[in-house]
A and B are shown apart, each in its own frame.
Chain A
């Protein structure tokens, strides 16, 4: 008689994160576990071998041998990648979230953070950059986060969708009115994490400062934007899905019926599926605008060429993390905060 297979029941010891310990210490009832998620941070799926030399059954040998780290106790560094549930097992494509660098602004400044922006934190720095580089205000890898900066100057645009050449150009719709299979791929909510000491987020329409869902023990503020409740952060698809944020997320074609490239979703002119577009502005903290203190503690001084003029700035490197709440896809936008000190 064989033994009963009990491998389906696994006992694990959990450790509290720093945020968990903080909430437990607060004793105000904010430590309340209500849900769970599964993660696979250590897994490199490119190791999956669809045609293993040893034959069927050896496709994931290298993946299963990957060692697993002990738990990180920092709440923002654990479970960066979550395992996702979809009802449909026949999905072949999943959506991604990408920083839009096609629309103004762009990230063409080679000396800037890769895939990110220089961010001016105060008016004098913005004025200086504008004087030295006339194209900076609308492009060239700069964002402006001082109080009073316009929506165009301060915004980040994130595009979501199926970024594949194998699907014809179209939309993902959140409702059953579209393709029911693809409707589950539409992201309708995002989590945005940013260092609260350095930056806040603003609504693109009226530039009002957003309120974070919570600020953790490491001063990381988490904002939750959901379509419907926070529609002003979502751009509108043609057909009525989305919110008031500009620019709209519609397929635009020219007179030759060729797509005008306004999205980073879809590698070619006639492919890709547009999902949702998240737009929010950056607002530097009062501390950054009025003081050198955080630059002294967290940053450095370096020379950056603006236009063609090497200029000395106080800088801090930081990052904004955007995570699809439902689809789990996460993108990090590196930022280099600039403050000019004569």
Chain B
């Protein structure tokens, strides 16, 4: 048999695997409240939402963190208010969110967002008609927010005072984790529950929805009302959340909400599809080298006499196509000594 430097991989040498990689994403309130003199907060002329960056957004180092927006249904209790600012845009935002997240009923009408998770439910108390939306960037959520009990948490300042919003807090969290609901067209979701100052033990209340694959949290505006803890003064003119939803711009209202976010944390999930190639170096294989330093006048340097065992020192694994193109490379951390007395199986993992 002639020399060979390649070894074919057969079907048993190739294994497909899928693993989930999780990263912890802690968002401190200082980023949302505008650490950089609001230079990390981007408002748009269309006024439909507000973007939060982790650094002044004009810098190329800035990363997009999330978008904040809000809206209410056209038949919400706020619709009869006078002095409404950007009525159409707030209605449009609500409808867009409902359409994407809650889908349609049998007549083709858009379902309303529902805190029970039953989007077609007629129970009026469960409908979320005025919502605050935290739309997390794909950069953070990757493939999805990890489904994990208490994995997603958001702490809101719900003290009535505008100056000291965190004197009382409300913790919003994902209670059910892996037991996710599947009746949303936007993928899996769960109900967000809230507990906080003044709540009796185990008396958490549903306050919104968390959509894992969409990377999106929807809260009812009631979290800033006395329905939960206290009626909050949302800005320096002591407007209530209903008042800013009516008369404020979306960007201005988003700023008011950011003022009351103490922190957000969750884990993201990246699905890694891997192919593992089992590169088997049997005892009789890969014991010589074509390295120019291997020879001195054609004689093998690591042998004194013919009966000495040949030795090679492997540092690299190359994966090749049939036409000998090098498609992937893996490196060992240190040279591995290969002699006829040793066999190795190098498990080379290629992630996609």
Contacts and interface: CB of A to CB of B under 8 A. Distances in A.
Interface of A: 8-17, 19-20, 23, 30-46, 48, 50, 59-60, 63-64, 66-73, 75-76, 78-79, 81-87, 89-96, 162-166, 174, 183-186, 188, 191, 213-214, 216, 222, 224, 267, 324-330
A60 B312 CA distance: 11
Interface in B303-352: 303-307, 309-338, 340, 342-351
Given A10-B347, A14-B349, A85-B286, 17 more contacts: A8-B344, A12-B347, A23-B325, A34-B9, A35-B8, A36-B279, A60-B313, A60-B337, A78-B329, A79-B326, A83-B5, A85-B7, A85-B288, A90-B307, A164-B297, A222-B325, A325-B5
12 contacts: A30-B321, A33-B320, A38-B314, A44-B293, A45-B301, A64-B335, A84-B286, A84-B290, A85-B287, A89-B287, A96-B295, A327-B3
B212 interface: no
A39 B318 contact: yes
Contact of B298 (A16, A31, A94, A186): A94
B328 A33 contact: yes
A330 B292 CA distance: 8
A135 B313 CA distance: 47
B330 A85 contact: no
Nearest to B334: A68
A330 B9 CA distance: 24
A68 B331 CA distance: 8
B94 interface: no
B201 interface: no
Contacts of B294: 45, 94
Contact of B293 (A23, A45, A93): A45
B55 to A, nearest CB: 29
B291 interface: yes
Contacts of B346: 10, 12, 38
B309 to A, nearest CB: 6
A64 B302 CA distance: 14
B318 A64 contact: no
B315 A14 contact: no
B340 to A, nearest CB: 5
A87 B350 contact: no
B107 interface: no
